[in-house]
Amino acid sequence: MDATVQHNADFSEEERDAVYRCIATRRDVRGQFLPDPIPDEVLARLLAAAHQAPSVGFMQPWDFIVVRDPEAKRRVHAAFSDAHTEAAGMFDDGRAATYRRLKLEGVLEAPIGLCVTCDRDRTGPVVIGRTHQPEMDLYSVVCAVQTLWLAARAENLGVGWVSIVRYDDLRAALGIPPRIQPIAYLCIGRVSHFFAKPELETAGWLPRLPLRDLVWFDGWHQRTGREPLLTELD
């Protein structure tokens, strides 16, 4: 038997449906975190899942900083608060009021914070698949974040991505060297509930776009209108 080939690799219908359900019910959690600790074996499964994400040139450019210390969380929260105040002034009056009412992070409430970073020099200056698209290492780390996010949902854990923070402030809060690029600060924990729809959609910030309005054929904004796939997207 060839050890390099996956045998019995097909998913059953039940396994397939579970994957799609996990994708459909994943949410960006902000305000529903419970203080329950996350067992190390569960966190280890999440990190192992993230480490199996695809990466350009197999460079695996990610590092994971697990944040449990309350003081470290306070430093991250202070960095968020500064950026949050600044961001509120970037919207017009109507949206600024809505923005201020939204709960946009759970840094102090979530039992675990996780900062995911990118070491852009990990495997040297020339990387397969990155020779003409140098940003692919950053996208690889985003793939790791998404993989961890779906694994967390399968573990019945909520995850919130805190992106309202300056990179240098996050570096200062967690002692990250200047050459390392922070990608995501994630809040992870058990939650009281998951919303049926994304919270910003429920709050009326933006609607979900119809998928059929975003799918084209053989070129940008090309379609005949008779493509059978479009009827499947309704």
| pLDDT tens column, 56-86 | 999 999 999 999 999 999 999 999 999 999 9
What is the mean predicted confidence (pLDDT) over 196-221? 93
Whole-number average pLDDT of the chain:
95
Q: Could you report the per-residue pLDDT of 204-214, keeping only the tens digit for each?
A: 889 999 999 99
Q: Could you report the per-residue pLDDT of 17-47, keeping only the tens digit for each?
A: 999 999 999 999 999 999 999 999 999 999 9
What's the token pair of residue 55? 């990466």
Q: Does domain 27-207 have CATH number 3.40.109.10?
A: yes
Q: What is the pTM of this model?
A: 0.93
